[in-house]
Structure 1
Amino acid sequence: MSWLMRESSRATREVSSNGIVRRMVNLPRSIVGGFSRVMSHGIGRIGIAGRRDQNPIPNFPLQPLQDPLNAPEEWTFLSVYEQQYGSTHPLFYACQFMEALKIAEDEHKFMFMYLHSPQHPFTPSFCWGTLGSELVVQFLDANFVCWGALSDRGEGSQMAVTLQPASFPCCAVIAPAAGNSIAVLQQMEGPISPAELVEILQRTVEEQGLAFGNSRAKEEETTREKAMEEERKRARAKEEEKIRADRQLREEQDAAYLSALKIDKEKEKLNSLLPERRFQKPAGSSSKANYEKPRQNPDSDTVSKW
């Protein structure tokens, strides 16, 4: 059975209800956790593999190492690959899997993943004839974010266990999914010509890109709506808080005004009573005078009689 027939039967078997040919795969915890650890140090660690027309990125030596297996894991695949097959290949991101997936998501592209098995008999023809083809290089560079790994080391080994390919070379078209999962939109195994690979990738982009893009657009729209609703809630809460603060301020001002008004009225009342008390005769003074005056009358009568 030819590779194309195997790919076609796989696609038929994995077609979903919404027409998207894909399967959901849960990522190993070490891959998901590794992304969090690396992101804490910044995404500036990411490098891109060079080729004859690509300028090297500073601080990342691109020349093959004497012992490529001793290179950092992110560069091991590129070192091994370029030592044997040269630098004519798609632009592979020298980073961890989840970092490349995040880059693909940010650029609204799918990820092209290649699991490299150096000892497999189909590997040399695939690397020289397919990945080294200018047709494949240009198509992948324009439409995908490429990531490669050794199938028996590090994250490459974990992805091989996750995808369980029946043969090598193994390539897959990957898209992000909810949680710690990925969507395997297409999985290709065994030898394949440049024209076949480009045809399958082109069909994947055309058939699934629109559906997956619509799904992503809906998710983004939902996210925007949620963000707008949260913003509206915050605005309402802020307005309600302002209304409460204004009401409390008015109540405090009214209470202070009423208190001051009460004090002023009491002062006015007190001031109005003081003049009356100042000019009013003491009680009993006139009766005393009246009492003393009759006592003087008999004496005057006596004097007059004499």
Structure 2
Amino acid sequence: MDTTEASSSSSSASADAAAASSSSAAGSSAPGTDEDRSQLIAQLQSITNMESTDQCRFLLEAHDWNLQTAIVTALSMQDEGDRHQTRGSARFAEDLGVQPNYQPSRRTPRAAEPAFARTLANHQVAEAPVCGCRASWLASGWTTGNNLRLLLDGRFYIDELDSDSELDPVNVVDPLADVTALEREIDERFGRSHPGFFQGSYREASNHSKRELKFLLVYLHSPSHYLTENFCRGVLTSTAFTDFVNENFVFWAGSVRTAEAFDVATLLRTVNYPFLGVVVPLHGQMVLVHRIEGVLPTETVITQLQTAIDAHGAELIVARNERQERAQSQLLRDEQDAAYQQSLAADQEKARRRQAEQERLRAQEEAEAQQARAEEEAIVARERAREDKKRVLAAEPAPNTPGTTRIVLQLPTGSRLERRFYVDDTLQLVHDFVDTQNTGLTNYNLVVRHPVRTITDLSTTLAQEKLVPNALLLVQNLDA
């Protein structure tokens, strides 16, 4: 068995013995006389070897003068207090985004007494959340009974929860509603002249402080603490404090009766109330650089806050300058990128237009070449057709040959063609004759002049069209 286990066993045995020997003095109701209280204090001190009678009185008062539960708490605190002192602190720091500006040290069990003694010296019973915080308490430290919670720095928080309560903080915690409720409570009790509360959770306030590079002032409100009313009336609602805080801080407030503020109080190792903590965003972390606990004159509070600002404001100025330099560098890069993209887009547009023009020219050249080839092919085809028609066309009859007629063809240019045909020849032969001449005509009609009529049927003979013994035909260019 190691030392811890031996100590735990001894503590348990002592607690059992104490419970058996003092059952008559461990009732749930408080003793009626000072002598009865002194006897209970003496018994607790004798059993637990506690050095301070004030500590014994505090434990007995916290447990409504129930000696048995006070003994269990005291012995368990001695055995387990230091071993659980720092449990969960790293997790809370990570969850809440705060890094204290000092590190917890390893201490012997008896070394937990100074924080405890400071609490007693102020006659303080710190608040615990009214509901929904059992999981938070168990993660923060360790339980010693139905209503006493030992937290990271050895302080004691008394809550009013029944031991059978199964409230789940995940389901009931609403940071914005908590802040709104606290602000409404302060408005109703002390007036509306106070710093503007950040409307959101502590994490959101921390992130806002980081973004704006502003100091974060944390106010932890303990509704039943005997100094709270003096602080709220004398400091929190004073015009000087309100104006100073609104100008220099992001102000986040929380009641330690709520889960989130309770965890923040644990993380910041609050000893006394009211509590003000100055938190600074440095190198991406939130660092607690100054704390004010208890009630001080408004001028003193403002002076201390100003001192904290003076001590660490230069770091924020450096951070702001670095952020501004980064922003300017980023702006310059963005402008350069924009100019580059604009130039690139202009070059791409020029290239696109140039390519489009080249493609247009190629298409035009190809179309022209194709047209030239088509025209050349048409010329060749017409020449071949003319030669074919020359071979088919019979020799012109001699003058005065019986059964012939003289046909005169007037071209659109005014020139004339003349030839003799047999009266039984068709108009197609006249048409072919025109085609064999170098007239350049390809699409035309033959029109009788008197009376004017267009010959549409080229299969009729000259006799049928009454174009004998001579006739004048107009060649009408249909492409003109």
TM-score w.r.t. the length of structure 1 is 0.56
Moved more, 99-108 or 71-80: 99-108
| Residue number among 173, 183, 196 corresponding to 1:92 in the alignment | 196
Q: Is the 8 A contact 1:112 1:174 kept in 2?
A: yes
User: How far apart, CA to CA, are the structure 2 residues paired with 1:150 and 1:187?
Assistant: 17
2:248 pairs with 1:143:
yes
1:55-74: CA deviation from partner (whole Å, max 9, x where unpaired):
xxxxxxxxxxxxxxxx9422
How many residues end up aligned between the 2 structures? 216
Give the C-alpha shift of residue 132 in structure 1: 4.3
User: How far apart, CA to CA, are the structure 2 residues paired with 1:260 and 1:132?
Assistant: 86
CA RMSD, 1 decimal: 3.6
Unaligned runs of 5+ in 1: 1-24, 30-70, 286-306
SS at the partner of 1:93?
A: coil
2:132 pairs with 1:28:
no
How does 1:47-196 map onto structure 2 within 5 Å?
72-84=177-189, 86-87=190-191, 89-93=193-197, 95-96=199-200, 97-98=202-203, 100=205, 109-176=214-281, 181-196=285-300
Give the C-alpha shift of residue 246 in structure 1: 3.1
User: How far apart, CA to CA, are the structure 2 residues paired with 1:275 and 1:119?
Assistant: 115
Give the C-alpha shift of residue 116 in structure 1: 0.7
Larger Rg computed on CA atoms = 2
Q: Is the 8 A contact 1:26 1:182 kept in 2?
A: no
1:200-252: CA deviation from partner (whole Å, max 9, x where unpaired):
11122233223312212311331342244234324423432442343133223
Q: Is the 8 A contact 1:27 1:162 kept in 2?
A: no
Pair 1:136–1:272, CA change in 2 (3 A): closer
SS at the partner of 1:167?
A: coil
1:25-82: CA deviation from partner (whole Å, max 9, x where unpaired):
54438xxxxxxxxxxxxxxxxxxxxxxxxxxxxxxxxxxxxxxxxx942222223334
Q: Is the 8 A contact 2:256 2:262 kept in 1?
A: yes
SS at the partner of 2:272?
A: coil
| Residue number among 299, 324, 331 corresponding to 1:220 in the alignment | 324
Give the C-alpha shift of residue 195 in structure 1: 2.5
Give the C-alpha shift of residue 133 in structure 1: 4.2
Q: Which residue of 2 aligns with 1:257?
A: 361
Pair 1:77–1:232, CA change in 2 (3 A): same
Q: Which residue of 2 aligns with 1:59?
A: none
SS at the partner of 2:358?
A: helix
How does 1:3-22 map onto structure 2 within 5 Å?
none
Give the C-alpha shift of residue 150 in structure 1: 0.4
Pair 1:152–1:227, CA change in 2 (3 A): farther
Give the C-alpha shift of residue 174 in structure 1: 3.0
User: How far apart, CA to CA, are the structure 2 residues paired with 1:267 and 1:236?
Assistant: 45
Identity of aligned residues (%): 19
- Whose relative contact order is higher, 1 or 2, with alpha carbons under 8 Å and at least 6 apart? 1
Q: Is the 8 A contact 1:171 1:189 kept in 2?
A: yes
The one-letter code matched in structure 2 to 1:203 is T
Q: Is the 8 A contact 1:90 1:141 kept in 2?
A: no
Q: Is the 8 A contact 1:90 1:146 kept in 2?
A: no
Q: Is the 8 A contact 1:88 1:132 kept in 2?
A: yes
User: How far apart, CA to CA, are the structure 1 residues paired with 2:352 and 2:188?
Assistant: 76
User: How far apart, CA to CA, are the structure 2 residues paired with 1:137 and 1:256?
Assistant: 75
User: How far apart, CA to CA, are the structure 2 residues paired with 1:107 and 1:125?
Assistant: 32
